[in-house]
Amino acid sequence: MKFSFRGKEITAEAGQSVGAALIAAGHRSWRTTRREGAPRGIFCGIGVCFDCLVVVNGEPNRRACLTEVRAGDVIEPQEGAGRGDLAC
């Protein structure tokens, strides 16, 4: 199946998490911290830490490690805490 990340098409396996699909496609970070803009990606991989937050189909604060990718999803990096004024 295919989804987009930063406007580019990525192929994922059925049942794969957004985080796993991004890692498989060579992406290591997809969120920046609010204060310093430091890059973040998968850290714990089990939904505890919130480092892997992404915007999925316009909805911020989705944990990439827990969110199953679906065909046609539009995934964008998340800036900071994911508030509406900070979401990409």
63-81 per-position pLDDT tens digit: 999 999 999 999 999 886 6
Residue appearing with tokens 């890692």: 23
The separation between CA 86 and the C-alpha centre of its own chain, rounded to angstroms, equals 15
HSE-CB for 79 with a 13 A CA cutoff: 8
Closest C-alpha to 52, from 25, 75, 83, 73: 75
- Topology of domain 2-79 in CATH is Ubiquitin-like (UB roll) (3.10.20)
Residue with tokens 């990606």: 41
Cα–Cα distance for residue pair 88/81, rounded to 1 Å: 11
Report, as an integer, the average pLDDT of 11-32. 95
Sign of CA dihedral 47, 18, 62, 88: positive
Q: How confident is the model at residue 11 (pLDDT cuts 50, 70, 90)?
A: very high
* pLDDT range class, residue 88, cuts 50, 70, 90: very low
- For the stretch 25-77, pLDDT in tens is 999 999 888 888 889 999 998 989 889 999 999 999 999 999 999 999 999 99
